A and B are shown apart, each in its own frame.
Chain A
Amino acid sequence: MVHLIWPIPALPLAGTLILVFFGRRLGARAHWVAVPSVGLAFVVALAAFLRVWRDGETFTGPLLDWIIAGDFRAPVTVQLDQLSAVMLLVVTGVGFLIHVYSIGYMHGDPGYPRFFAYLTLFVFSMVMLVLAGNFLLLYVFWEAVGLCSYLLIGFWYTRPAAADAGKKAFIVNRVGDFGFALGVMLLWVSLGTLEYDEVFAQAWALPTGTATAIALLLFAGACGKSAQLPLHTWLPDAMEGPTPVSALIHAATMVTAGVYMVARAHVLFERSGVALEVVAWVGILTALFAASIGLVQNDIKRILAYSTISQLGYMFAGVGVGAYAAGIYHLVTHAFFKALLFLAAGSIIHALGGEQDIRRMGGLARRLPVTTLTFLVAAVAIAGIPPFAGFFSKDEILAAAWASGHLGVYALGLLGAAFTAFYIFRLVFLAFFGPSRLDAEAARHLHESPPVMTIPLGFLAVLSAIGGVWGLPGEHGTPIARFLDPVLPHGEAALGPGTGPLLMAVAVATALGGILAAWRMYLRRPVPAERLGVPSNRLHVLLLGKYYVDELYDALFVRPLVAVSEWCARVFDLGVIDGLVNGAADLVGRWSSVLRRVQTGLVMNYALSMLVGAVILLGLLVRWR
C-alpha cells in the first residue's frame, strides 16, 4: 500500500522543485512539468482509492521521525483510509483539471512558471494535509496550504489590492491558527500523544470540559481556514488572486480543510457535545449570513466568494448535526460545481478582457455557448434542483438537521437555500441573458475561450450533473455514507415514513421559488442598467456594505493594536526606558561638571583640603577612642 501513497505527494513536490530551480529556463513551457506531475498524482490517487474501495484496505504508519526531543516525538505519520481517499481524489482530480485550465488562463503571464510552482506546491501541501496521520503534521500542512494561499492571492503582487488581500488572508488565518495551535497543545498535554488513532481511542476518557476546550480551539482554526464567522473577512478579498486559484484553493479544496478536520476529529467534538452544537450553529448562521450578502453583490467573483462561505457553512452545519458523511459529500459536490462556477466565471473574465462587474455584462449566452451551458449546470446544481449533484448533498444535510431535532438549523438552512437559488440565478440572468450592457471595447474583445479551458469545464459539468449518484438515498443510507462508515459512523437518520420525500419536495419548491424571484426581478422585466445595484433601502445598504464587519474589526482590533504598538515604541521605549538611561547619563555629566571645579590645579587648595581632611579624621579617631 505504501508504494501507492508516497507518490501522491512526491509527484507534485518534484514538480515544485523542478519549477523552482529551472522555472526561469522553462518559461512558457512550465506547464509541461506541472500538469503531468499533478495528473500522475491523480492516477496514483485513483489506484489507491480503488484499493480502499474494493478491498477496504487502509494504511496508517510513520514514514519517518521528524522531531524527537525527549518525550516530544513527532513522526511523519500518514493515514490512508476511506475519508482521506475521497479527499485525495477531489484534491488531485479537481487540481488536475484546474492545472489544465490554467494553461489557457495564465497564458502569456510574465510569472507563468512561478504560478505553476506555487500551484503544485499547494497540491503537495493539500495532499499531505489530508494524508496526515497526526495533529502536528496536520498543523504543519495546514500552515503550508495557508502559505500557498498567501502567495497565490498576492500573485499579481504589483497590484496594491492583491498585496493587501494576501496580507489580510494570512493574518486573519493566523488568528484561527492561534486557536488551532493551542488546541493541539492542549490535546498533547491531556493525552500525551497527537497520533489520530491513539487520540481518538482515548478521547472518551477526556473530561468534558477539556474535550470542549480542545474541540472549540481546533474549530477556531477551522473558522479561519474555512472562512466562517467571525473570521470570514479574508475570503472575499482573496478573489484578487488569479481565477484558477480562486477555484482550486478558495472554493474546492483548501477552504474545505476545516470541514475535513472537524469530520476527522469528530470523536473529540462528540465527546464535548457542546462543541458539536457550536459547529452546527456557526455553520448555519454563516451560511445564511454570507448568502444574504451574496444577494446584492455585483462583482462576479465576490458573489461566488460569498457563495463559497455560505456553502462551507452548510458543510459545517452537516457535520455539526452529526451527519459527517453528508458534510463530506457536500464538500465533494461543492468542489465540482463551485470549481466549475469559478472556472466558467474565469472564462467570462477572460473573454471580456478583465471585466468582473455583472452590471456591465448581459446577453453573453449567444457568444459564449460552452461557458454558458457549463455555468448553467453548476448554477442548477448549487441551487439544489434534482437530479444535479448539489441537490442530493444539500438535502442530506437538511434532512439530517431535521432528523436530529435541529429544527432551527433546518429552517435557517431552508431560507439560505432560497437565497442561494436567488443570488446564483440573479448572476445567471444578469450575465448571460437579457440585453447586453457591454461597453464597446469588451464587446469587440468577446470570444469563447480556447479548448484547453473549455474541456475542463466540460468535465466538471459532467461531474456536477451526475455527482448525485453517490447521494441517492438507499436501504442503508447513501452510497457515500456506507463507504465512509468505517471512519465516519452515521447514525440511522430517524426520519418518519414519508418525511424524506416531503423534505425533498419542500427543498425543491424553495429553490424554484428563489429562481422564480430572480427571474421576475432581473429577466421578465429587466431593471434598467443605471439602476442595477443602486441600493433602494437601508437593508440593501447594509448588505452591500457586507454588514460593515471589516469596518468593525478595524475599529475594534486594528486601531487598538496600532495604538499599543505606538505606545510601546514611542512612549515607553523612547520616553521611559531611554528617558531613564539618557537621564542617568545626563546626571553623571552634570555632576562631573560640578565636581570638576574642585580640580583647580592650585597646590595650595589641595594642601588646604588635605589639612581639613586630616583634622576631621583625627577628630573622629579621638572621639572613637
Chain B
Amino acid sequence: MEAFPILTLVTVAPLVGAGLIMFTARRRPGLVRGIATAVTGFSLLGSLWIFFAYDSSIGGYQFYAKYPLVPALGISFEVGVDGISLLLVLLTALIIFTGVFASWTIHVRNQEFYALLLTLVTGVFGVFVTLDLFVFFLFYELAVLPMYLLIGIWGTSAQVRPRGIFAWAIRETGLGSKEYAAMKLTLYLLLGSAFILVGILALYFAGGAGSFSLLDLEEAGFDPGLQRWVFLALYVGFGTLAGIWPLHTWSPDGHASAPTAVSMLHAGVLMKLGAYGIVRIAMGLLPEGTLDWVWLVGTIACINIVYGAFSAMAQTDLKYVVAYSSVSHMGIVLLGAATLTEAGLNGSVFQMFAHGIMTGLFFAIVGLVYEKSHTREILRMGGFGRRMPGVAAAFTIGGLSSLGLPGLSGFIAEILTFFGAWQSSYHWWLFPAVAGTFLTAIYILRVAKQIFWGPLDEGEHSHLPDAEGPEWVSLVVLSGVLILFGVLPALAIAPVDSATVALLDRLGVLP
C-alpha cells in the first residue's frame, strides 16, 4: 500500500482544488464549478476505491503511510483508515460531491465560496484519516474555522422571529441572523477545541513516548486518575461539536443560517467529527475513563434524543426542524457508543453514516424548496408535491429513513443501537431511544404533510418547478445511498465490525 498514497491524495485533492480556484478562475464561475466537481469527484472515486479495497477480514488500519514532520516532537503525517474512518471518509466524499452541485446557484463571490468549502473539506478528510493527534488537531481547526466566513457571508437570516415568553429578550441578541449564528457557532466550537487541546496535550505528556501517534498512545496505558479527567475534557470538547445537550444550541442557529452546501456538510459530516473524536480518541485511548463516564455519555445522549425531537416538533422554520432533528439523531450516535456493546457501537457508527447522508439530503431539499418558493416557513407551504414530485419523493425517503423505517439506512442504525442499549448495563436507555423514533415520526410526517401534501396555493406558488439539472445529483445520489445501505447493510457493517470489536477489546468489555 506504500506504493500509492491514495488516502493522502483524497485528503489534499480538495485543498489543491481550492488553490487552483483561487489562482486560475477569477470571475469564471463555470471554471470554478468545474474544478470543484473534478476534485471532489476525484475524492469520491478515491474513497469508493478505498471502501471496496479495504479488507474487513484483516481489519485494523489499512492504506497506512507515515511521513515525519517534526521528529523532535514526535509529530508526523501519519494516515490510515480502519472500519470506522473508512465509512466516514466515504460519507464526507459523498456529501461534498453532492454539496458542490447543491451550491450551483451561488453567484456572489462564487470563487471564494468554493475555495473555502474545499479547504474545509480537506480538514474533514484529514481528521478522519490522520493517526497523529497533533495533525488531527490542525485538521480539526481547519475544518471548523472556514465555517465562520461561509455562514457570515453566504448565509441567510431566518425569517421566523423568536416567539414565546422570552422572545423580547432574545430579539435583542440578533438571534436568527446569520451574523449571530456564525459568531455563536465559532465561539462554541473554539471553546470545544480548547478542551480538546488540553486533553491531547495531557495525553502527549502523560504518554511519555514523546509521540503524538495514536498507535503509540494506544500502548501507553494511562493513569486511571488522569483518564478520568482527560476523558471528561475530551467528551466536552468533542461533544460540543457533536451537539450534546445542553451545548447544542449553536447547531440549530448555525445550520439554519448556513448556505445549503455548508449545512449539508456541517450537519452531515462535521457533527460526526465530534462523535468520531469521542469514539476514536476518548474511548480508544482511555478505557478506564470511558468506563467511569459512560453513564453520563449515555444519559445525555438519551436527553438529546427526546429533547431534540420535542424541539424539532415545535419549529415552524423548515431548516430549524432539520437542525433539531440532527440534535436528536446525534443522540442515537452517542447512545450507541455509550452502550459499549458490539451491536450498539456498530449502530453508532452506522448512524454517523446514515444520519450524515439523510441530513445532507434534507438540507439539499430545504435549499431547493427555499430557492423555488422563497420561504422556509412551513405553514406558508402546502401541496408542493404536485409541482415537485421528485423533491417530495426524496424528502419522503429521507424522512422515512429518519423515523427508522426498515429497508432504509436509519432503521439499521437504530435497531442496532436499541439492541445495544438493552445489552448495556443501563436497560432503561432503550425507552427514550425508542420514544425518540416515535416522536420523530410525528414531526417528520407533520412536515411532509404540510409541505408536500394538501392543496396547493396557486396564487402564492404559481411558479414552482421540480428539481432540474444539477439539482438532481444530490437528491438521487443521497436517497440512493440511503436505500442501498438500508437493503444491504452488510456492505458497511462488515468493515465497521472489525474496528468496533478491536475497540471493545481494548476497553476490555468484550465477553
- Shortest distance in angstroms between A30's beta carbon and chain B's nearest beta carbon? 16
- Shortest distance in angstroms between B313's beta carbon and chain A's nearest beta carbon? 4
Chain A residue contacts of B435, Cβ below 8 A: 178
The answer, among B166, B341, B405, for a CB contact under 8 Å with A143, is B405
Q: Is B310 a contact partner of A564 (Cβ separation < 8 A)?
A: yes
- Interface size class of chain A, counting residues whose CB lies under 8 Å from the partner chain: 35 or more
Task: Spot the interface stretch: A154-162, A417-425, A542-550.
Answer: A154-162
Q: Is A181 a contact partner of B175 (Cβ separation < 8 A)?
A: no
Q: How far is the CA of A581 from the CA of B445 in the complex (A)?
A: 32
Chain A residue contacts of B164, Cβ below 8 A: 566, 569-571, 574-575
Contact with A along B479-501 (1 / 0, CB 8 A): 00000000001100100010001
Tell me if B463 is interfacial: C-beta within 8 Å of chain A: no
Q: Is A158 a contact partner of B383 (Cβ separation < 8 A)?
A: yes
Tell me if A163 is interfacial: C-beta within 8 Å of chain B: yes
Q: By CB atoms of chain B within 10 A, which of A68, A174, A178, A182 has the most?
A: A174
- Shortest distance in angstroms between A179's beta carbon and chain B's nearest beta carbon? 10
Tell me if A578 is interfacial: C-beta within 8 Å of chain B: yes
Tell me if B65 is interfacial: C-beta within 8 Å of chain A: no
Contact with B along A554-574 (1 / 0, CB 8 A): 000000011011111111011
- Interface size class of chain B, counting residues whose CB lies under 8 Å from the partner chain: 35 or more
Closest A residue to B187 by beta carbon equals: A585
Tell me if B77 is interfacial: C-beta within 8 Å of chain A: no
Q: Is A569 a contact partner of B315 (Cβ separation < 8 A)?
A: yes
Q: Is B386 a contact partner of A158 (Cβ separation < 8 A)?
A: yes
Tell me if B342 is interfacial: C-beta within 8 Å of chain A: yes
Tell me if B170 is interfacial: C-beta within 8 Å of chain A: yes
Tell me if A516 is interfacial: C-beta within 8 Å of chain B: no
Q: Is A569 a contact partner of B419 (Cβ separation < 8 A)?
A: no
The answer, among A163, A567, A570, for a CB contact under 8 Å with B449, is A163
Tell me if A492 is interfacial: C-beta within 8 Å of chain B: no
The answer, among A140, A157, A175, for a CB contact under 8 Å with B406, is A140
Beyond A68-B493, A178-B435, whether A578 also contacts B175 by CB under 8 A is: yes
Chain B residue contacts of A55, Cβ below 8 A: none
- Shortest distance in angstroms between B351's beta carbon and chain A's nearest beta carbon? 13
Tell me if B416 is interfacial: C-beta within 8 Å of chain A: yes
Q: How far is the CA of A167 from the CA of B411 in the complex (A)?
A: 19
Q: How far is the CA of A499 from the CA of B435 in the complex (A)?
A: 50
Q: Is B249 a contact partner of A578 (Cβ separation < 8 A)?
A: yes
Tell me if A43 is interfacial: C-beta within 8 Å of chain B: no
Tell me if B36 is interfacial: C-beta within 8 Å of chain A: no
- Shortest distance in angstroms between B161's beta carbon and chain A's nearest beta carbon? 11
Task: Spot the interface stretch: B99-107, B123-131, B285-293, B452-460.
Answer: B452-460
Beyond A185-B419, A575-B165, whether A68 also contacts B406 by CB under 8 A is: no
Tell me if A579 is interfacial: C-beta within 8 Å of chain B: yes
Task: Spot the interface stretch: A69-77, A255-263, A333-341, A602-610.
Answer: A69-77
Q: Is A154 a contact partner of B493 (Cβ separation < 8 A)?
A: no
Q: How far is the CA of A119 from the CA of B286 in the complex (A)?
A: 53
Q: How far is the CA of A72 from the CA of B173 in the complex (A)?
A: 50
Closest A residue to B442 by beta carbon equals: A171
Q: Is A571 a contact partner of B166 (Cβ separation < 8 A)?
A: yes
Tell me if B438 is interfacial: C-beta within 8 Å of chain A: yes
Q: Is B418 a contact partner of A185 (Cβ separation < 8 A)?
A: yes
Q: Is A144 a contact partner of B383 (Cβ separation < 8 A)?
A: no
Q: How far is the CA of A139 from the CA of B412 in the complex (A)?
A: 13
Q: How far is the CA of A163 from the CA of B453 in the complex (A)?
A: 6
Tell me if A189 is interfacial: C-beta within 8 Å of chain B: yes
Tell me if B162 is interfacial: C-beta within 8 Å of chain A: yes
- Shortest distance in angstroms between B183's beta carbon and chain A's nearest beta carbon? 9
Q: How far is the CA of A159 from the CA of B383 in the complex (A)?
A: 9
Q: Is B342 a contact partner of A158 (Cβ separation < 8 A)?
A: no
Chain A residue contacts of B422, Cβ below 8 A: 185, 188-189
Q: Is A181 a contact partner of B310 (Cβ separation < 8 A)?
A: no
Chain A residue contacts of B166, Cβ below 8 A: 570-571, 574-575, 579
- Shortest distance in angstroms between A321's beta carbon and chain B's nearest beta carbon? 32
Q: Is A67 a contact partner of B489 (Cβ separation < 8 A)?
A: yes
Tell me if A164 is interfacial: C-beta within 8 Å of chain B: yes
Chain B residue contacts of A570, Cβ below 8 A: 163-166, 314
Q: Is B310 a contact partner of A157 (Cβ separation < 8 A)?
A: no
Tell me if B66 is interfacial: C-beta within 8 Å of chain A: no
Q: How far is the CA of A355 from the CA of B489 in the complex (A)?
A: 48
The answer, among A144, A157, A185, for a CB contact under 8 Å with B430, is A185
- Shortest distance in angstroms between A129's beta carbon and chain B's nearest beta carbon? 11
Q: Is B449 a contact partner of A166 (Cβ separation < 8 A)?
A: yes
Q: How far is the CA of A446 from the CA of B422 in the complex (A)?
A: 60
Beyond A70-B501, A158-B454, A565-B310, whether A181 also contacts B441 by CB under 8 A is: no
Q: How far is the CA of A69 from the CA of B349 in the complex (A)?
A: 12
The answer, among A175, A189, A573, for a CB contact under 8 Å with B311, is A573
Interfacial residues of chain B within 152-171, with CB under 8 A of chain A in the complex: 162-167, 169-170
Tell me if B346 is interfacial: C-beta within 8 Å of chain A: yes
Q: How far is the CA of A188 from the CA of B416 in the complex (A)?
A: 12
Q: Is B311 a contact partner of A569 (Cβ separation < 8 A)?
A: yes
- Shortest distance in angstroms between B172's beta carbon and chain A's nearest beta carbon? 8
Tell me if B343 is interfacial: C-beta within 8 Å of chain A: yes
The answer, among B249, B314, B400, B497, for a CB contact under 8 Å with A69, is B497
Q: How far is the CA of A565 from the CA of B164 in the complex (A)?
A: 12
Chain B residue contacts of A68, Cβ below 8 A: 490, 493, 497
Q: By CB atoms of chain A within 10 A, which of B165, B383, B416, B442 has the most?
A: B442
Q: How far is the CA of A16 from the CA of B187 in the complex (A)?
A: 50
Tell me if A265 is interfacial: C-beta within 8 Å of chain B: no
Q: Is B343 a contact partner of A72 (Cβ separation < 8 A)?
A: yes
Q: How far is the CA of A178 from the CA of B442 in the complex (A)?
A: 13
Closest B residue to A185 by beta carbon equals: B422
Q: Is A147 a contact partner of B449 (Cβ separation < 8 A)?
A: no
Q: By CB atoms of chain A within 10 A, which of B166, B175, B249 has the most?
A: B166
Q: Is A144 a contact partner of B315 (Cβ separation < 8 A)?
A: no
Q: By CB atoms of chain B within 10 A, which of A71, A565, A575 has the most?
A: A565
Closest B residue to A110 by beta carbon equals: B386
Q: How far is the CA of A160 from the CA of B385 in the complex (A)?
A: 13
Q: How far is the CA of A71 from the CA of B456 in the complex (A)?
A: 50
Q: Is B423 a contact partner of A189 (Cβ separation < 8 A)?
A: yes
The answer, among A67, A160, A164, for a CB contact under 8 Å with B455, is A160
Q: Is B445 a contact partner of A69 (Cβ separation < 8 A)?
A: no
Chain B residue contacts of A159, Cβ below 8 A: 454-455
Chain B residue contacts of A171, Cβ below 8 A: 441-442, 445
Q: By CB atoms of chain B within 10 A, which of A66, A160, A568 has the most?
A: A568
Q: How far is the CA of A582 from the CA of B418 in the complex (A)?
A: 36
Chain A residue contacts of B423, Cβ below 8 A: 189
Q: How far is the CA of A287 from the CA of B341 in the complex (A)?
A: 45
Q: Is A566 a contact partner of B314 (Cβ separation < 8 A)?
A: yes
Q: Is A569 a contact partner of B314 (Cβ separation < 8 A)?
A: yes
Tell me if A402 is interfacial: C-beta within 8 Å of chain B: no
Q: Is B342 a contact partner of A181 (Cβ separation < 8 A)?
A: no
Q: How far is the CA of A166 from the CA of B455 in the complex (A)?
A: 15
Interfacial residues of chain B within 388-439, with CB under 8 A of chain A in the complex: 400, 403, 405-407, 411-412, 415-416, 418-419, 422-423, 430, 434-435, 437-438
Tell me if B246 is interfacial: C-beta within 8 Å of chain A: yes
- Shortest distance in angstroms between B394's beta carbon and chain A's nearest beta carbon? 13
Tell me if A614 is interfacial: C-beta within 8 Å of chain B: no
Q: By CB atoms of chain B within 10 A, which of A70, A189, A582, A585 has the most?
A: A70
Chain A residue contacts of B497, Cβ below 8 A: 68-70
Q: How far is the CA of A71 from the CA of B422 in the complex (A)?
A: 13
Tell me if B307 is interfacial: C-beta within 8 Å of chain A: yes
Tell me if B280 is interfacial: C-beta within 8 Å of chain A: no
7 contacts between A and B (CB under 8 A): A70-B501, A72-B416, A72-B419, A163-B449, A578-B170, A578-B173, A579-B169
Which residues of A are in contact with B by a Cβ distance under 8 Å? 65-72, 136, 139-141, 143-144, 147, 154, 157-160, 162-164, 166-167, 170-171, 174-175, 178, 181-182, 185, 188-189, 561-562, 564-571, 573-575, 577-579, 581-582, 585
A139-B406, A143-B405, A569-B311 given; 11 more Cβ-contact pairs under 8 Å: A68-B490, A69-B346, A72-B342, A72-B416, A141-B406, A157-B454, A158-B455, A164-B449, A167-B445, A170-B441, A181-B434
The 4 closest A-B pairs by CB, nearest first: A570-B164, A70-B342, A569-B314, A163-B453
